[in-house]
C-alpha cells in the first residue's frame, strides 16, 4: 500500500477511529510479522488504551502508556475496522478487539509488514538505528545537506531518492513523479546533477508528498482501502502507470525501464540522460 502520503492517511483514519479506545484482546494468526518477542505480544497489548497514533516516515507509531507499537505496512499492509462481526478472510492476520465491541483488523496479502512492541524510551534509538532521514517538510528537509548527499553519491538518482536516509517517505510511485516534475532522468548518476536540478528535486519532493497527503494518498491496484479511505492522488499522477500515454508536458510517450530493480516511468524527451 504505502508511501508516506498513504501511511499518513491511515494514521489519520486510526486517529479518528481508535484513539481513546482500549484493547481488550489480541488474536495473532501469523507470528512471523512480529519482530519483537512474539510470545507475549498479545498479552502485553491487552488492557492497553490507545493514546495516540503518530507517524515517522513510513512507520506508524501507536502510543500506549509506557509502550509503543511500531507498525510498518511494507507493500500491502492495511487496517480495517469492523463494528461488530468480522468476516472470514485468509489475509487477516491480526485482530485487536476494542472495548466498544469493534475489531481493528490488520490485513496483509504478502505478510511483509512488521510489528514491534517497544518501551517508549526506546523510540529515539529505534529510529536512529534505522537512519530515517528528515520528514519532507520545509522545516525539516533542508536543501544544503541534500545537495551534499546527492553531489557526492555515485548511485543512480532514482535509487538515491528511495534511500530513506536522505529524506523519509518517497517510494517507487512518488519518486517517479518527483523525477518527472524536476525533469531529471531516473538513471542520472547523482553526482552529475546540477545545483538547479537538485533544488528542483528537493522542492518537488516536498510539494508532491504534501499534495499526496492532501489528496488522501493514491488508491492503485487496490480495490478498497477501509482505513485511510480511498485516496484521489492517483488522478494527479503524471507518469506512474502511464506507459505509452502522452507526457502531460510535451506529448511524448511515457516509457518504463528498470532502475535498480524497480520499474521506473519517465518521459524520454523531458528527462534526458
Partner DNA sequence: TTTACTGTTGCAGT
Partner DNA sequence: AACTGCAACAGTAA
Output 239 or 270, the one with its CB closest to DNA.
Answer: 239
Pairing of strands 67-72, 114-119: antiparallel
**Taking CB under 7 A as the rule, does residue 83 contact DNA?**
no
Among 21-29, 61-69, 139-147, 256-264, the segment contacting DNA (CB under 7 A): 256-264
**Taking CB under 7 A as the rule, does residue 159 contact DNA?**
yes
CB 134, min distance to DNA, A: 14
Output 186 or 231, the one with its CB closest to DNA.
Answer: 231
* Residue 2 known to be catalytic: yes
Which among 272, 271, 270, 273 is positioned nearest to 251, based on CA atoms? 270
Output 111 or 199, the one with its CB closest to DNA.
Answer: 111
* Residue 262 known to be catalytic: yes
Interface residues for DNA in 193-212 (CB under 7 A)?
Answer: none
One DSSP character per residue, 25-47 reads: EEEES-GGGB-S-SSSHHHHHTT
Whether the CB-CB separation of 242 and 254 falls below 8 Å is answered with yes
Which among 144, 84, 72 is positioned nearest to 112, based on CA atoms? 72
**Taking CB under 7 A as the rule, does residue 262 contact DNA?**
yes
**Taking CB under 7 A as the rule, does residue 185 contact DNA?**
no
Please identify which residue in 32, 66, 85, 139 interacts with DNA, judged by CB under 7 A: 32
CB 198, min distance to DNA, A: 15
Output 6 or 204, the one with its CB closest to DNA.
Answer: 6
- The CA distance from 63 to 167, in Å, is 24
Cell triple for 57 = 516516515
Q: Work out the angle at residue 128's Cα, subtended by the Cα atoms of residues 123 and 130, and round it to the nearest 5 degrees.
A: 100
Which among 73, 77, 45 is positioned nearest to 59, based on CA atoms? 73
Cell triple for 40 = 507475549
* Residue 249 known to be catalytic: no
Distances (CA, A) of 103 to 29, 65, 87, 209: 15, 20, 11, 31
Q: Which are the catalytic amino acids? A: 2-3, 58, 262
Residues that bind DNA (CB under 7 A): 1-3, 5-6, 32, 57-58, 72, 74-75, 90-91, 109-112, 130, 153-156, 159, 162, 164, 171-173, 217-222, 231, 258, 260-263
Amino acid at each position: 500500500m504505502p508511501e508516506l502520503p498513504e501511511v499518513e492517511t491511515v494514521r489519520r483514519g486510526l486517529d479518528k477511529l481508535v484513539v481513546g479506545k482500549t484493547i481488550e484482546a489480541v488474536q495473532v494468526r501469523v507470528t512471523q510479522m512480529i519482530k519483537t518477542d512474539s510470545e507475549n505480544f498479545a498479552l502485553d497489548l491487552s488492557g492497553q488504551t490507545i493514546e495516540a497514533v503518530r507517524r515517522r516516515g513510513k512507520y506508524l507509531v501507536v502510543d500506549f502508556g509506557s509502550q509503543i507499537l511500531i507498525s510498518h505496512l511494507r507493500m500491502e499492509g492495511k487496517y480495517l475496522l469492523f463494528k461488530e462481526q468480522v468476516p472470514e478472510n485468509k489475509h487477516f492476520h491480526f485482530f485487536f478487539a476494542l472495548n466498544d465491541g469493534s475489531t481493528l483488523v490488520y490485513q496483509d496479502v504478502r505478510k511483509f509488514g512488521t510489528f514491534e512492541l517497544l518501551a517508549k524510551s526506546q523510540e529515539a534509538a529505534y529510529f536512529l538505528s534505522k537512519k530515517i532521514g528528515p520528514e519532507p517538510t520545509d522545516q525539516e528537509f533542508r536543501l544544503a545537506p541534500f545537495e551534499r548527499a546527492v553531489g557526492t553519491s555515485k548511485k543512480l538518482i532514482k535509487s538515491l531518492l528511495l534511500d530513506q536516509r536522505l529524506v523519509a517517505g518517497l517510494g517507487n510511485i512518488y519518486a517517479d513523479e518527483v523525477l518527472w516534475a524536476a525533469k531529471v532522468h531516473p538513471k542520472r548518476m547523482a553526482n552529475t546533477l546540477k545545483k538547479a536540478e537538485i533544488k528542483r528535486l528537493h522542492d518537488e519532493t516536498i510539494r508532491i508528498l504534501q499534495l499526496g497527503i492532501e489528496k488522501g494518498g493514491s488508491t492503485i491496484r487496490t480495490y478498497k482501502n477501509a482505513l485511510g479511505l480511498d485516496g484521489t492522488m492517483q488522478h494527479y499522477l503524471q507518469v506512474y502507470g502511464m506507459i505509452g500515454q502522452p507526457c502531460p508536458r510535451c506529448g511524448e510517450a511515457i516509457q518504463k525501464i528498470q532502475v535498480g530493480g524497480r520499474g521506473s516511468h519517465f518521459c524520454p524527451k523531458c528527462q534526458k540522460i
